[in-house]
Structures are given as structure tokens and as C-alpha cells.
Amino acid sequence: MSTVARDVSPSPFNQLASHHPIGMSTGVFADARKDWPGLVERASAISPYAIELSALSGPELPGLLAYLRSAPALPFRYLSVHAPTKNVEPDEAKVVGMLAQLPLSARTIVTHPDALRNPRNYRVLGTRLILENMDTRKDIGRTAEEMGTFFSLLPDAGFCLDVAHAGDVDASMDVAHELLDRFKSRLRHVHLSSLAEGEHVPLTEEDAARFSEVLGRCRDVPWVLEARPPEAWRSALGAMGPPLDPTTAGERM
Amino acid sequence: MTSARGVLGLEEAAKITLGNISSARQRTERRLAERRALFAGIPIDDDATVVLTGSWGRCEVTESSDNDSIILLSGPRREDARPTEAQVAETFDGEPPGREAIFGKHVWLEDLQGKIGREPDSNKNLTRRMLFILESVSVCGADVHADARRALLGRYLSANVKDYRPPRFLLNDLIRYWRTIAVDFESKMRARDGEGWGLRNAKLRLSRKLLFAGGLLPVLECYRYRADEMLEFLDERVSVPPLDRLADAFLEHDAVDTGARVLTAYDEFLGILNDRAKRDELKTLGPSETADSELFAHIAGLGDEFENGLLSVLFDDPALQKWVRDYLIF
């Protein structure tokens, strides 16, 4: 039994940890790439409610597809897959074909606008496809106007708000608000982390304060952590596993 | 700042268009007018009202909606009450009542009002009472309908209601009804060998949840009122469709974004229900077929979005969360 007293006046930073549901992106565990059972175990030890299975690199996708088609008993109420955005098979139709074969237990399939060569190829994914806004390293998909171009080509697609990306484009968070103003009804989940030199790193207290108003508009959707959770959140998350290795690499997601 | 309330108010505040809800409302009004004209030629006792429940009361009639009616009589019990059950059935094109025989029957207000709880409060009695309060609309006898609904609310509020607290008797019966729906779903599906499972499950995830939430939110909102003001408040709330009650809750609790997602999910669901091919596909699905049905997976997703938004306003709003904590579990 824990002897640690619960904080009765949580800071805004710790209040965010009480959001429900929070889930992990398996992209955080870069050392275990392609070991899908192992990745799921590590993610579910932090949160058994939501998960994003990250096949960011093209060669990871066939293994993920095989794993999910083996119908593993997974605890998550919300399961998302991040489609490849690096080292992607040149034949886009083949990639989309594999994504379309993902079992329907994968509620959403996230991808980046800049990864779409011919957006119309992705229409077959229907409402399962969700598009994520980009950061300043990309030259498209960063603002509401740029995202609007893609949604006009993919009218059934949902929206994933990457708060750190939006904050990178505009530190005032106006861009994030504009994205929500325009695509609020499409919002399916949030990607949450801070950014350091283009890599996703644990959310800082400073960013938590900067993001909190935007996150307040997203209280009813899952938040997927794209970096290890801040240690201060472990109690609120009810995380069961050992503390995460603080050297866990960030990832460009 | 919008001055409109309900669904229209949320559409304005969120700058969204909910086309399927709007179409369903127009269809409901048009068909209600047709039915009211038909009943205008039928002799009806002064204490009688014929109401339609379900999608009619929710103002979301589809091409396939049934005429689930209740013939309510508020006066003394008698054999020769008008309209007769046969007249009502005939007016609704001879449509037979459902297998549970809940609809199309004479129902006495004294039963709905006087038999709340214990053995005499049968499953039918509870169902009719809740549908009458939460989602009914009159095709004749509008005054009797309004008075009877108010009388039923008044019965619940006569039991130990305190100022600025949700009325527990009504809340408990409402929760009992929702749990009864969920338990009976399993029982009905066993009895019917899974027939119609997909469509009924979809309705459980959205329409039935709307029915419950459309009662739950106003009952919790009673924390704003003195005991002697609650009847007026609740009577006004149940006089508008449940989706309007939900929309108002999102507007009043500063949750416009969440409300937009909740109503957009419901709007899409109504579009599916009004599509005959999709509706027929849902009807054929049993529990074992849903894993491979893109349509069912889509509806399950809409159901989750709908539920998550409702849970968010209940558990994340600083005012409501206290009442949810104090009243919803025990």
C-alpha cells in the first residue's frame, strides 16, 4: 500500500494527468521496435485505456498487421494505429491496402498530410483515417488553412490535434485554437508531449500551462502521450510498471 | 453570443450544421401534422390523449419509424373509453403493437402515477411512465398530455425534495429505467435468438442513451432551484426534445466543442438510421458478425464519441461533477 499522501491541491500540470482516457504511443519505446506484444505490455502498464500502435517506419507495418490479425486480447477501449511516415513503400496503393486490412478494432489510423502522395488513395479508409497537424519542420499541414486542403480531398477523415506541433508553429497557441475552431467536429484524439529540437519529449510544466486552454477544449477525447509521461503523473495515471527509463529516446512523430 | 437554445443554439455557437437532425425534425413535424389530422375525425373522451413515443418524442422520425403509441386516460377506469385501441390501430394503418405489447393500449394515469416501485410497477408500467415523461408527443388531447406529464413529475417531487439538490426519487427511478433497458436488452436478445441484434445494439449505444441522458441532465440541474421551483423547471425541460436538453447542457456548462462532437456523432447516426440499406444491414448483424462489419464499427465509434462527450460534461464540469459524485452511485 502506498504511503505517499495524495496532493489535495494539484497544480495545473498535475491536473492534466487526471484526464481520462490517457494512452501511450508505442513509438515512445524505441528500443523495443517491432516487438508488438512487448510494446503493448509496456504501454498498458502505463494506461490500459488507450493506445497508439506506432508503425512510423514502413517496414514495421506488415508485422503490426500480422500481430493485430492474430486477434490478441487487448484491454484498450481506444486503439489507434499510426501509419508509416518514414521509409514508406514506394507503392502507395500497397500501403493503403495494408492499412485497410487492419482489423476494425483499430478505431483510427493516423497519418501525416505530407506523407500522402495522392490523398485520394486514402479514401478507402473512410472515417477511420485521421490527419495530424504538422510542426515547423514541414511546409504543409501546419495551419487550419493548410489542413483544410486535405480535408476537402478526404471529407470523411477525422482530425488528430498534435498540441506540441501546433505550439511549435505558433507559441501563442492561436493556431491550435484555429484548428479546433475549424475542425472541432472531426477531432478524434490528441497527441500530447513537448518538443525539443524537433523530437517529442515529456511534457514540461511550462508547456502544460501554455497548452491547458487548448486541452480544455478536448476533454472528451483520448490524449495519446508521444513521450514518456512526466514522473509526477505516474500516481494519477495509476501506472503499474517500473519507472520509465528517463533516457528513452524521443522520436520524430 | 447566441440567443438561440437547444440544437439551433449549439449549431450557432459551434458554427456547425447538423443536417440529418434538421431533416428528421422536419419529417417529424410533417408526419405529426398528418397524424393529427387523421385523429381530428375520431371521437375522443375529454380525459384522453394519444401520444407517440420513441423517435417521435425525440423529434427524429426516420423513414422506418414505428407508430409506438400510448392511449392515456387520466379519469376514472372504464370499459368504453374513447378512442378505442382498435380505432387507434386502424388510424395508424393497422400497424400491430410490438411483441412486448407495451404500445397501442389503454393506459390509466392512476397506474403510472400510483404504482411506482415494488411488484405492481411492472416492466410495462415503468417503461410507459418513463417514455411518457421523457419522450412523448401528442397526436390528440394535447392538454391532457401536458397535464398528465406534469402530474407524473409532481408525484416524484412530492417525496422529500430538498432545495438546491437533485430530486432523488425521480433520479433513482430514471437510473433504474436505464439499467432495466440494458439488462432487458440481453434478455430480449436471448429470447429472440439474436434477431435484430445489430440495430438494437446500435440504438442502445445512441438513442437509448440519449433518452437516459435527456432525463438525467435536467434532474441533476435541479441543484440550481428551490424545491418549489423544480416542477416548473422539469416540466419545461421535458417539453422540448431530448437533443435540445443535451445541447442546452453543453451550452450552459461552457462545453461547446464537446457538444459539437456529441451532436455531430448523433447526426451521423441519424443519417445511417434513415438509410434503408444500412438499416437493413444492421438488422441482419448478430454479435458474432460485428467484428467484420465496417458499418457496425463505425456506429460503435459514434457511440463512444457520444458517450465520452456526455461523460465529460458530467465528470469534468466543476459544478456537475459534485452532484454526480454525491448522487449517481449511491
Q: Give mean pLDDT, residues B118-143.
A: 97
d(CA B192, CA A94): 43
Determine the residue type at A160. C
- Find the CB nearest A104 among B14, B264, B294: B294
Contact A129, A122 (CB under 8 A): yes
Residue to test with chain A: of B20, B21, B308, most A Cβ within 10 A? B308
Average pLDDT over chain B, rounded to an integer: 95
Q: Do A185 and B297 touch (CB under 8 A)?
A: no
Is the CB of A78 inside 8 Å of chain B's CB atoms?
yes
At B175 the pLDDT is: 98
The answer to whether A69 faces chain B, any CB pair under 8 Å, is no
pLDDT band at A90 (very low <50, low <70, confident <90, very high): confident
The rounded mean pLDDT for chain A is: 91
In this structure, are strands A199-201 and A194-196 parallel, antiparallel, or unpaired?
antiparallel
How is residue A176 written as a grid cell? 491550435
More confident residue, B146 or B159: B146
Q: Is some CB atom of chain B closer than 8 A to the CB atom of A220?
A: yes
Q: What is the pLDDT of residue A13?
A: 86
Is B308's CB within 8 Å of A221's CB?
A: yes
Contact B257 A217 (CB under 8 A): yes
Is A213 at the interface with chain B, CB within 8 A?
Answer: no
Residue appearing with cell numbers 422539469 = B234
The reported pLDDT for the residue numbered A236 is 78
Residues near B99 by beta carbon (within 8 Å), at least 6 away in sequence:
none
Judge: A104–B292 Cβ closer than 8 Å, yes or no. Answer: yes
Chain B residues touching A218 at Cβ < 8 A: 257
Q: Provide, as residue numbers in chain A, all residues whose Cβ is less than 8 Å from the Cβ of B294.
A: 104, 126
A81 touching chain B per CB within 8 A? no
Write the single-letter amino acid at A76. F
3-state SS track over B268-283? HHHHHHCCHHHHHHHH
SS (H, E, C) B272-316: HHCCHHHHHHHHHCCHHHHHHCHHHHHHHHHHHHHHHHHHHHHHH
Q: Tell me the average pLDDT across B207-234.
A: 98
- Domain architecture of chain A: domains with CATH: 12-237 (3.20.20.150)
d(CA B313, CA B78): 47
Q: In the prediction, which pLDDT does A233 show? A: 86
The predicted pLDDT at position A242 comes to 53
B265/A142 Cα distance (integer angstroms):
26
ipTM beyond cut 0.95:
no
Q: B213 to chain A, minimum CA–CA distance in Å? A: 16
- Find the mean pLDDT for residues A1-26: 75
Encode pLDDT of A28-49 as tens digits.
Answer: 999 999 999 999 999 999 999 9
Enumerate the residues of chain A whose CB falls inside 8 A of the CB of residue B312: 219-220
Partner B contacted by A1 (CB < 8 A) = no
Contacts of A188 in chain B (CB under 8 A): 305
Taking the CA of residue B275 and the nearest CA in chain A, the distance in Å comes to 17
Question: What's the pLDDT band for A182 if we cut at 50, 70, 90?
Answer: very high
Which residue is associated with the grid cell 374513447? B82
- What pLDDT sits at residue A2? 43
Residue A238 is predicted with a pLDDT of 72
pLDDT of residue A96 exceeding 90, the answer is yes
Q: How far apart are CA A41 and CA A53, in angstroms?
A: 12
The model's confidence at residue B95, banded by pLDDT at 50, 70 and 90, is: low
Q: Three cell numbers at A11?
A: 497544480
Give the mean pLDDT of B203-216. 98
Which residues in chain A have Cβ-Cβ distances shorter than 8 Å to B261? 184-185, 187, 220-221
User: Once rounded to an integer, what is the mean pLDDT over residues A166-175?
Assistant: 98
All residues of chain B having their beta carbon less than 8 Å from the beta carbon of residue A189 are: none
Task: Report the candidate in B4, B25, B8, B26 with the shortest Cα–Cα distance to residue B17.
Answer: B8
Cβ neighbours of residue A180 closer than 8 Å, sequence gap 6 or more? A161, A187, A214, A217, A218, B257
Report d(CA B308, CA B316) in Å as an integer.
11
- Residues of chain A found within 8 Å of residue B316, distances taken between Cβ atoms: 219-220
| pLDDT at A248 exceeding the cut of 60 | no
Closest Cα of chain A to B305: distance in Å?
A: 8
* Pairwise CB contact (< 8 Å): B260 & A127: no
| Closest residue in B to A186 (Cα–Cα) | B261
Share of chain A above pLDDT 90, in %: 81
Q: What is the CA radius of gyration of chain A?
A: 17
For cell 485497410, name the residue.
Answer: A100
Between CA B168 and CA B135 the distance in angstroms is: 20
C-alpha to C-alpha distance for A215 and B16, rounded to whole angstroms: 20
What are the grid coordinates assigned to B249, written together? 447542457
Whether B73 has a pLDDT exceeding 70, the answer reads yes
Least CA distance to A19: which residue of chain B?
Answer: B316
Question: What is the distance between the alpha carbons of residues A110 and A130, in angstroms, rounded to a whole number?
Answer: 5
Burial of B80 (0-12, 13-18, 19+ CB in 10 A): exposed
Looking at residue B291, its pLDDT comes to 84
pLDDT value at B22 more than 50: yes
Distances (CA, A) of B216 to A61, A84, B92, B227, B311: 45, 44, 32, 17, 12
Output A89 or B174, whichever has higher pLDDT.
B174
Helix (H, G, I), strand (E, B), or coil: what is residue A44?
helix
Q: Which of A126, A181, A187 sits opposite B261 (nearest CB)?
A: A187
Position with higher pLDDT, A233 vs B324: B324
**B96 or A79: which carries more pLDDT confidence?**
A79
Cβ neighbours of residue B52 under 8 Å, at least 6 residues apart?
A: B32, B35, B67, B68, B69, B136, B137, B139
Bridge partner residues of B50 (DSSP): B71, B140
- Asked if B261 lies within 8 A of A180 by C-beta distance, the reply is no
- The backbone region for B311, taken as left when phi is positive above 0, alpha when psi lies in -120 to 50, beta otherwise, is alpha
Q: pLDDT band for position A247 (50/70/90)?
A: very low
- pLDDT at residue A3 in the model: 45
Using CB atoms within 10 Å of the CB of residue B133, give its burial: 0 to 12 exposed, 13 to 18 middle, 19+ buried: buried
Residue A14: CB atoms within 10 A of its CB come to 17
Task: Indicate whether A147 pLDDT > 90.
Answer: yes
**pLDDT at residue A10 is higher than 70:** no
Give the chain A residue whose CA is nearest to the CA of B306: A220
How far apart are alpha carbons A76 and A63 in whole angstroms? 20
Please report residues of A whose CB lies closer than 8 A to that of B298.
Answer: 126-127
**What b/e string do you get for A64-85 counting C-beta neighbours within 10 Å, with b at 16 or more?**
bbebbeeeeeeebebbbbbbbb
Q: DSSP secondary-structure letter at B197? A: H
Nearest residue of B to residue A180, measured between CA atoms: B257
- Whether residues B316 and A217 touch (CB distance < 8 A) is answered with no
- Higher-pLDDT residue of A88 and A158 is A158
- Residue A1's pLDDT is 41
Cβ(B56)–Cβ(B68) under 8 Å? yes
Neighbouring-strand partners of residue A223: A22, A190
Q: What is the mean pLDDT of residues A176-204?
A: 97
Rounded to an integer, the average pLDDT of B124-136 is 98
Q: A251 Cβ partners below 8 Å, 6+ apart?
A: A27, A28, A30, A56, A199, A200, A226
Nearest CA in chain B to A185: B261
| Pairing of β A22-25 and β A223-225 | parallel
With contacts defined as CB-CB under 8 Å, which chain B residues touch A107?
A: 297, 301, 304
Are A86 and A58 contacting, i.e. CB atoms less than 8 angstroms apart? Answer: yes
Interchain pair A126, B294: CB under 8 A: yes
**CB nearest A220 (choices: B261, B291, B298):** B261
